[in-house]
Amino acid sequence: MGISMHAQGAFGVGIYSYADAARFIGTESRELRRWLKGYSTSRHGEVHEYDPLWRPQLAETGIDGIGFRDLIELRFVRLFVTAGVPLVLIRRTIDELRERLGKEYPFTSTSFKTDGKRIFMEMLNDNGDKALVDVVRRQDVMPKVIGPSLREGIELNVDEEATRWYPMPRSKSVVFDPARSFGQPILADFGVPTVAIAEAVKAEGGDAKRVARLYEIPVAAVRRALAFEERVAH
């Protein structure tokens, strides 16, 4: 069976449904759709339209999903939102970072570590909204979003574009690589999708050793795939 033209457009880019992307970064798919498809609100009889935070990589393919770089950048947005940063401030910060750093995906850029806090604080200082001022008083916000831990496991190329993501702490057993399996999480050394391993173990009544024999991989690799799938399960 041939690969559809839509899917061919995702070669080397990665392809994730909103549901899977939400599962991988720990949020809800409806939230991701709001961030990357835009939304509207109604207040006092007035309708306010909000554009997407940025144009997703797959926008021109007709695929209802996102690419690998979208996924990595959304991890930052999700952390900002979880830390209590209003989306209006995130939107303004993205625009300002893009202009100053010249990066399409500025949060992923290592330049954000050094310039991010200053730009973020400038955005806060320029706005008198009490909700934004309250963010300044939360001492835990900036260390979380600027700290190096968020980039742990992410490999960047010379242009500071994310090329791979190893999501398990201090481990390279599982990888998201847009050049392999359309960016789906796989066992890095064997190329087997982690979801396939999890489904096989379930089908075999939890027999990890049998699944290891079927796929001709170590039992330890099966267990690492299971650990990842359990971690991202809702």
Backbone phi, psi, residue 97, to 5°? -65, -40
Q: Sign (positive/negative) of CA torsion 53, 57, 58, 61?
A: positive
Average pLDDT over residues 218-225: 98
pLDDT tier at 117 (50, 70, 90 boundaries)? low
Composition of the chain by helix, strand, coil, percent to 5 = 50, 10, 40
The secondary structure of 47-85 as a DSSP string is EEEE--SS--TTTTTT-SSB-HHHHHHHHHHHHHHHTT-
- 29 burial level (CB within 10 Å; 0-12, 13-18, 19+): middle
Average pLDDT over residues 8-18: 79
pLDDT tier at 4 (50, 70, 90 boundaries)? very low
Weakest mean pLDDT among 48-62, 75-89, 142-156, 220-234: 142-156
In tens, the pLDDT along 121-141 reads: 666 666 555 544 455 455 556
| % of the chain exceeding 70 in pLDDT | 79
In tens, the pLDDT along 156-210 reads: 999 889 999 999 988 999 999 999 999 999 999 999 999 999 999 999 999 999 9
Q: Count CB atoms within 10 A of the CB of residue 172.
A: 12
Question: Does residue 74 carry a pLDDT above 50?
Answer: yes
pLDDT at 125: 61
pLDDT at 72: 96
Question: Does residue 120 carry a pLDDT above 70?
Answer: no
Task: Provide the residue type at 105 as one letter.
Answer: Y
**Are 103 and 97 a contacting pair, CB within 8 Å?**
yes
Tokens of 208: 């990890």
Question: Does residue 3 carry a pLDDT above 60?
Answer: no
Average pLDDT of the chain is 84
Q: What is d(CA 71, CA 19) in angstroms, rounded to the nearest whole number?
A: 12
Rounded to two decimals, what is the model's pTM? 0.84
pLDDT at 108: 87
What Å distances lie between residue 123 and 83, 98, 99, CA to CA? 16, 14, 14
> In DSSP terms, which residues pair with 162 in a beta bridge?
156
pLDDT tier at 5 (50, 70, 90 boundaries)? very low
Q: Name, in order, each residue with C-beta under 8 angstroms of 38's C-beta and a sequence gap of 6 or more.
A: 49, 50, 51, 52
**Are 167 and 225 a contacting pair, CB within 8 Å?**
no
Residue listed under structure tokens 């971690």: 231
Q: Using DSSP, how many helices (H) and how many strands (E) does the chain show?
A: 11, 6
